[in-house]
């Protein structure tokens, strides 16, 4: 039983990283209709910028992480305005943005390789939260608690932001129908910039937390998050922040518990098998029919 | 607005180009900074033509320069090198290339192959990708100026390029991949000692030192070389009557080891053996220690780099590993190489740098033995190398082209971040953070 609970905690922590990433990924997908495969690079660059601020500029850890988050967010805005906005104005459909995002994925990935020298960079271990909480036989490292708490907090903040603020309402309106939103006085471009920033900053948070958990800042940070984040959005339902969160947690649990009780060799088979089962049973995702969140 | 976007895009592209340019200029700087003084780090060899090792064969390369090299006409002789300076294995590929290029400069500047004779390693980065590596080596094969090939850092890549190279018939020297199936007496050789004997050797030492009742083995299951290491460990455990509580599979691109570490700890093993690739092993050690595992860990050279210590710090204490090279070794050849490497790159050489250094000297020796700049001569020159004094120690090649070492060194991390000798005893193992 202890082993099951311990692995469940591990699954929740891993899933929380996926959930954070998926919330931003789903936000762009739901509101702008863009399957942005460059989204993983925002996670990578968030981690790299946070480390650079801490290591090179001597900024204390927490502000450095905020710089990484903000830097990742600005990168998302830059990519959107350089790459996606011209296509949006021309009504480029689905394929154009995907190809554009592949281009940015490659460029930003290569720049990350250059920035890191293709090596693994690390925060000084003494700067990171070490140690763990013991509850009976259970061991919960601080970084897992932080990841889990940040995921829940982000879900709450983003959900309230979307549901209780004026700009959140505008974002939902643009996601539902940009033309109608425009007629109603919404400035779609401004809304898109806000969405791009929030989504990329959220991805950066996932990248930063993942890097801190493993003390591993490299150009591959976002790669692992991308596929799992995509699967989480599909499983949870891409129109709902809560769905993305639940999808991420489910994938984390399926991965870790599947590896423990079935086989680690079947880990990805289990994850993406779950994706296919959900797609067959509920094509809109687990929470896709609830029409809450982005599309309320 | 469109102009501004184009301007920003052009600026971004220019930055990319400039960054690439910076990489080149760093290499150039390193070239000029490389010392060309003493050459005691140069390996000495015994060839088939010289069946016994004599005093003459242990001379410095400066003296060798004064000896005429029969048949080797002045000119530049090229080899094709497949690098991995991007991708998940760049942690090894970057020092590989640096070690190789340092040796290349020294070979040329000291005139090791004779007046006016230089070698050049053509370098292409495959990033650990099999298809890219096949394309790169096919291009090398099609280039008549390329006399022999040097590759790989990954066993999976070595397996992918093997058929075409064996078919082409030119000499191929593996400088770092550890799959036992790579070498071939016809034309595929290895310039460094294979790790499986070291895995077995340290497993035997660990069994003798810690007298465990049971053990857990963790492996990177999608890497042939590490699967072979796993099998070597399991063989020792089996023959020693140690119960294997479980073998845990992980994968090369894993980024989270919390689950496998939890599983390993839950089994209650007396000793945990790791046969993992690169960063996955570093992450595994961290997770095991951070979660309270207090027993000995037996790892491999994946945790032997300076970056490893920066990443994992004192969680590495109490972990032992076998290694053919480490810069703290007192051997004069090692110290000379370490000093040159540090002068050139401002960092201490690790095992990967030594592998790059070694293969460059190995190829130079093959060319020297062959006596002329043809693929056939270089292949014959490789075959003639029987023993070589290297930074790894004395290497001896068998008929299959496999290098063996006279003695392995077991090391562990010390609290001040240095690799130090583990004497093979339980008392000699430094306490870990959970003791």
Q: B78-87, B340-349, B403-412 — which is least confidently predicted?
A: B403-412
Q: Average pLDDT over chain B, rounded to whole?
A: 83
Could you tell me which CATH number the domain at B43-193+330-401 has?
A: 3.40.50.2300
pLDDT for B42 equals 58
Q: How confident is the model at residue B356 (pLDDT cuts 50, 70, 90)?
A: very high
Predicted confidence (pLDDT) per residue in B13-46, tens digit: 443 333 333 333 222 222 222 323 333 455 655 5
Tell me if A114 and B249 make a contact (CB, 8 A cut-off). no
Q: What does the pLDDT look like over A124-142, one tens digit per residue? A: 777 777 778 888 888 888 8
> Residues 241-260, chain B: which have Cβ within 8 Å of A?
248-251, 253, 255-260
Confidence at B141, pLDDT banded by 50, 70, 90: very high
pLDDT of residue B58: 33
Averaged pLDDT, A152-156: 95
pLDDT number for residue B29: 27
What pLDDT does B37 receive? 31
Which residues 4-23 in chain B show a CB within 8 A of chain A? 5, 8-9, 12, 15-16, 19-20, 23
Q: What is the pLDDT of residue A178?
A: 77
For chain B, domain boundaries? 43-193+330-401, 196-323+410-421
By C-alpha distance, the chain A residue nearest B221 is: A265
Which among B20, B258, B283 has the least Cβ separation from residue A10? B258
CB contact under 8 A, B19 and A10: no
**Average of pLDDT values for A10-39?**
89
Q: Say whether residue A120 is in contact with chain B using an 8 A CB cutoff.
A: yes
- Nearest-neighbour CA in chain A from B117: distance (Å): 33
* pLDDT tens-digit readout, B248-276: 999 888 888 999 999 999 999 999 999 99
pLDDT at B44: 58
A122 contacts B310? CB cut-off 8 A: yes
Is A256–B307 a contact, with Cβ atoms under 8 angstroms apart?
A: no
Stretch A177-203: mean pLDDT, rounded? 89
Cβ-based contacts of A125 with chain B (< 8 Å): 311-314
Do B43-193+330-401 and B196-323+410-421 share a fold?
A: yes
Q: Is the pLDDT of residue B51 over 50?
A: no
Contacts of B248 in chain A (CB under 8 A): 264
Res A152: pLDDT? 95
Q: What is the 3-state secondary structure (H, E, C) of chain B?
A: CHHHHHHHHHHHHHHHHHHHHHHHHHHHHHHHHCCCCCCCCCCEEEECCCCCCCHHHHCCHHHHHHCCCCCCCCEEEEEEEEECCCCCCHHHHHHHHHHHHHHHHHHHHCCCCCCCEEEEEEEEECCCCHHHHHHHHHHHHHCCCEEEEECCCCHHHHHHHHHHHHHHCCEEEECCCCCCCCCECCCEEECCECHHHHHHHHHHHHHHHHCCCEEEEEEECCCHHHHHHHHHHHHHHHHCCCEEEEEEEECCCCCCCHHHHHHHHHCCCCEEEEECCHHHHHHHHHHHHHCCCCCCEECCHHHCCHHHHHHHHHHHCCEEEEECCCCCCCCHHHHHHHHHHHHHHCCCCCHHHHHHHHHHHHHHHHHHHHCCCCHHHHHHHHHHEEEEEECCEEEEECCCCCEEECCCEEEEECCCCCEEECCCCCCCCCCCCCC
Query: How far is the alpha carbon of B290 from chain A, nearest alpha carbon, in Å?
Result: 7
Q: How far is B122 from chain A (nearest CA, A)?
A: 20
Q: Look at A205-209, B20-24, B40-44, B183-187 and tell me which has the smallest mean pLDDT.
A: B20-24
pLDDT at res. B63: 36
Q: Do B283 and A139 touch (CB under 8 A)?
A: no
What is the ipTM, given to two decimal places? 0.81
CATH classification at residue A184: 1.10.3470
State the average pLDDT for chain A: 87
pLDDT digits 0-9 by tens, B154-166: 888 998 998 889 8
Return residues 91-110 of A near B (CB < 8 Å). 107, 110
Of B15, B251, B259, the CB nearest to A260: B259
Closest Cβ opposite residue B311 in set A6, A215, A223 = A215
- The mean pLDDT of A194-206, rounded to a whole number, is 94
If one compares B12 and A179, the residue with the highest pLDDT of the two is A179
User: What dotted CATH number matches B196-323+410-421?
Assistant: 3.40.50.2300
Mean pLDDT of B56-67: 36
Stronger pLDDT, A214 or B12, i.e. the higher one: A214
Total domain count for chain A? 1
More confident residue, A48 or A113: A48
* Residues B8, A120: C-beta atoms closer than 8 Å: no
- Whole domain around residue A166: which residue ranges? 2-295
């Amino acid at each position: 039983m202890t082993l099951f609970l311990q692995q469940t905690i591990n699954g929740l922590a891993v899933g929380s990283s996926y959930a954070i990433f998926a919330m931003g990924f789903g936000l762009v997908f739901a509101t702008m209709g863009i399957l942005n495969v460059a989204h993983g690079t925002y996670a990578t660059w968030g981690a790299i910028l946070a480390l650079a601020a801490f290591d090179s500029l001597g900024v204390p850890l927490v502000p450095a992480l905020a710089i990484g988050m903000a830097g990742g967010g600005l990168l998302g805005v830059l990519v959107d305005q350089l790459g996606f906005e011209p296509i949006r104005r021309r009504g480029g459909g689905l394929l154009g943005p995907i190809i554009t995002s592949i281009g940015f994925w490659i460029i930003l990935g290569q720049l990350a390789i250059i920035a890191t020298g293709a090596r693994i960079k690390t925060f000084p271990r003494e700067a990171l939260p070490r140690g763990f909480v013991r509850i009976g036989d259970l061991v919960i490292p601080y970084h897992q608690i932080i990841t889990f708490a940040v995921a829940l907090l982000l879900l709450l903040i983003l959900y309230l932001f979307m549901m209780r603020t004026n700009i959140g309402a505008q974002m939902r309106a643009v996601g539902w129908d940009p033309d109608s939103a425009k007629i109603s006085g919404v400035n779609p471009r401004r809304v898109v910039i806000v969405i791009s920033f929030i989504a990329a900053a959220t991805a950066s948070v996932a990248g930063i937390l993942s890097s801190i958990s493993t003390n591993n800042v490299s150009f591959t940070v976002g790669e692992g998050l991308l596929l799992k984040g995509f699967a989480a959005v599909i499983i949870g339902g891409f129109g709902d922040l809560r769905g993305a969160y639940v999808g991420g947690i489910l994938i984390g649990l399926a991965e870790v518990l599947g590896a423990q009780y079935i086989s680690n060799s079947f880990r990805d088979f289990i994850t993406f098998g779950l994706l296919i089962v959900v797609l067959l049973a509920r094509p809109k995702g687990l929470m896709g029919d609830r029409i809450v969140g982005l599309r309320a | 607005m469109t102009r501004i976007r184009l301007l920003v895009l052009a600026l971004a592209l220019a930055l990319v180009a400039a960054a690439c340019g910076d990489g080149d200029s760093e290499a150039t700087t390193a070239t000029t900074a490389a010392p060309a003084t003493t050459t005691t780090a140069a390996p000495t060899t015994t060839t088939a033509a010289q069946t016994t090792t004599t005093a003459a064969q242990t001379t410095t390369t400066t003296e060798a320069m004064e000896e005429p090299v029969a048949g080797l006409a002045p000119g530049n002789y090229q080899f094709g090198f497949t690098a991995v300076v991007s991708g998940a294995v760049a942690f090894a590929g970057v020092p590989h290339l640096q070690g190789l290029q340092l040796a290349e400069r020294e070979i040329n500047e000291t005139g090791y192959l004779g007046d006016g004779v230089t070698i050049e390693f053509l370098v292409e980065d495959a990033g650990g990708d099999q298809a890219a590596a096949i394309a790169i080596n096919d291009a090398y094969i099609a280039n008549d100026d390329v006399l022999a090939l040097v590759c790989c850092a990954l066993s999976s890549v070595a397996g992918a390029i093997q058929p075409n190279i064996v078919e082409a018939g030119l000499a191929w020297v593996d400088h770092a991949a550890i799959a036992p199936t790579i070498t071939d007496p016809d034309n595929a050789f290895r310039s460094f000692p294979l790790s499986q004997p070291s895995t077995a050797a340290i497993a035997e030492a660990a069994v003798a030192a810690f007298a465990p009742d049971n053990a857990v083995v963790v492996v990177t299951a999608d890497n042939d070389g590490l699967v072979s290491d796993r099998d070597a460990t399991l063989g020792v455990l089996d023959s020693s009557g140690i119960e294997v509580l479980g073998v845990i599979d992980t994968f090369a691109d894993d980024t989270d080891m919390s689950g496998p570490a939890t599983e390993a700890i839950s089994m209650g093993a007396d000793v945990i053996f790791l046969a993992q690739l690169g960063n996955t092993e570093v992450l595994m050690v961290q997770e095991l220690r951070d979660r309270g595992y207090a027993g000995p860990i037996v790892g491999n050279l994946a945790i032997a780099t300076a970056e490893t210590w920066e990443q994992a710090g004192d969680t590495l204490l109490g972990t032992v590993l076998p290694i053919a090279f480490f810069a703290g070794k007192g051997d004069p050849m090692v110290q000379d190489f370490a000093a040159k490497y540090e002068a050139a790159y401002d960092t201490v050489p690790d095992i990967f740098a030594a592998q790059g250094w070694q293969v460059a000297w190995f190829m130079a020796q093959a060319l020297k033995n062959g006596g002329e700049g043809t693929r056939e001569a270089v292949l014959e020159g490789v075959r003639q190398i029987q023993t070589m004094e290297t930074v790894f120690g004395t290497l001896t090649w068998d008929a299959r082209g496999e290098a063996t070492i006279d003695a392995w060194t077991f090391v562990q991390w010390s609290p001040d971040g240095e690799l130090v000798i583990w004497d093979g005893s339980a008392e000699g193992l430094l306490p870990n953070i959970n003791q």
